[in-house]
Amino acid sequence: MKKSGFKAWLYLLPAFIFLAVFMIYPLVDVVIYSLEEGYSFTSQQSLGVGLYNFSKVLRDPMFLQALKNTFLMVIITVPISTGLSLLIAYGLSSIKKLQELFQTIYFLPYVTNTLAVGMVFMILFNDTEHSAGLVSAIIRFFGGAGVNFIKGPYWAKMFVLCFYTIWIVMPFKILILTSARASVNPNFYKAAKVDGASNAKIFFKITLPMISPTLFYLIITGFIGAFKAYSDAVALFGTDLNAEGMNTIVGYVYDKLYGSGGGYPSYASAAALILFSIVLTITVINLIIRRKKVIY
């Protein structure tokens, strides 16, 4: 027994070493950075130890803006993208003709480069003196006033960011939900039909509970993904996100490390840990709900 225990540890060692070097050590390091006041890379020294970095970050208006942006994005995009994906997945599995073609079309955004898509969105939503984007042109056609979604008011920018994020994350969700729905034994539907259940009832009472584990998985990963958003904002608004007022928490962390106002690893670490604790809290809440909503 004892020998095999030793062997098991030996087999685990390579993975453990990698995890320790690339996961555990940096994590510990980030915690240390976040507690060291006024640490600088160049001098490799700090003024003392305390929670100063956290209070500084939490009072930084740029961080608060980033926090607000991130929360708005999460709250808007996760429910909408998941709900829409569910509808589309349901539609996709209901149609008979050209099903594979439509599945491919809906999956295309997934294999498209995010920055390229961002450029397309910029062209679509832009509205300057020289060129009007398609969206503004359409609004004008119906008698409205054109809006510059890229450089215009906050709500317009947030709208484009959410639109873009939803568009980018949906293909994966559609794919997962389509296969989840396909894996439900067709006999359940037959049984429900014989029992006289309407299509809506079959969807809400049979399909939805049966694919709920997948749905929860998508919601949790959706939350985590949206909280970690950064590249989406860069693709639309460029790298100077603070000037645009469209920064995200991850963007803030990056700025504090390497951005124009950078060189503050302690602030960056503190912000990263705040993000970590938010994501952790949300995930735990999700898991608790999931356990309460007894899925078979």
Partner 1 sequence: MKVVLDHLTKRFPNRNKKIKTEVVAVDDFNFEIPDGKLVGLLGPSGCGKSTALNLICGLETPTKGKVFFGEEDVTEYPPERRGVGMVFQNYALYPHMTVRENIIFPLTNLKGNNKLTKEEMNARAEKAASLVQISELMERKPSEMSGGQQQRVAIARALVKTPRVLLLDEPLSNLDARLRLQTREEIRKIQKETGVTTIFVTHDQEEAMSISDLIIVMKLGRVQQIGAPQEVYDEPVNLFVAKFLGTPAINVFSGNVSGGRLYIGDKCVLETEGARDGKVYVGIRPEGFVPDAEGPFESKLLRVEVMGRDITVVSEHELAENPTVRSIVSAENRIDVTSETVRFTLKPNKVFLFDAETEERVFFKAE
The token duo for 172 is 């994966």
- 269 Cβ contact list (under 8 Å, min separation 6): 30, 31, 33, 34, 53
Nearer Cβ to partner 1 (135/210): 210
Nearer Cβ to partner 1 (199/277): 199
Nearer Cβ to partner 1 (211/274): 211
- Mapping DSSP to helix (H, G, I), strand (E, B) and coil, where does residue 37 land? strand
CB of 289 to partner 1, least distance (A): 16
CA dihedral (81, 84, 90, 93) positive or negative: negative
The token duo for 43 is 């001098």
- Mapping DSSP to helix (H, G, I), strand (E, B) and coil, where does residue 263 land? coil
The token duo for 105 is 């079309």
- 208 Cβ contact list (under 8 Å, min separation 6): 215
Q: First and final CA of the chain: distance in angstroms? A: 36
Nearer Cβ to partner 1 (209/262): 209
Nearer Cβ to partner 1 (166/192): 192
CB of 198 to partner 1, least distance (A): 7
Nearer Cβ to partner 1 (10/200): 200
- Mapping DSSP to helix (H, G, I), strand (E, B) and coil, where does residue 142 land? coil
Among the listed residues 175, 28, 24, the one whose alpha carbon sits nearest the alpha carbon of residue 88: 175
Residue 6: other Cβ atoms inside 10 A: 10
CB of 186 to partner 1, least distance (A): 9
CB of 209 to partner 1, least distance (A): 4
Nearer Cβ to partner 1 (197/278): 197
Q: Where are the beta strands (DSSP E) in 71-141?
A: none
The token duo for 98 is 């050209």
CB of 217 to partner 1, least distance (A): 16
Nearer Cβ to partner 1 (206/278): 206
Q: Contact residues for partner 1 (CB under 8 A)?
A: 185, 187-188, 190-198, 201, 205-206, 209-210, 212, 294-296
With contact defined as beta carbons under 8 Å apart, do 237 and 159 qualify?
Answer: no
Distance CA 220, CA 223 (A): 5
CB of 18 to partner 1, least distance (A): 38
CB of 193 to partner 1, least distance (A): 5
The token duo for 93 is 């599995």
CB of 296 to partner 1, least distance (A): 4
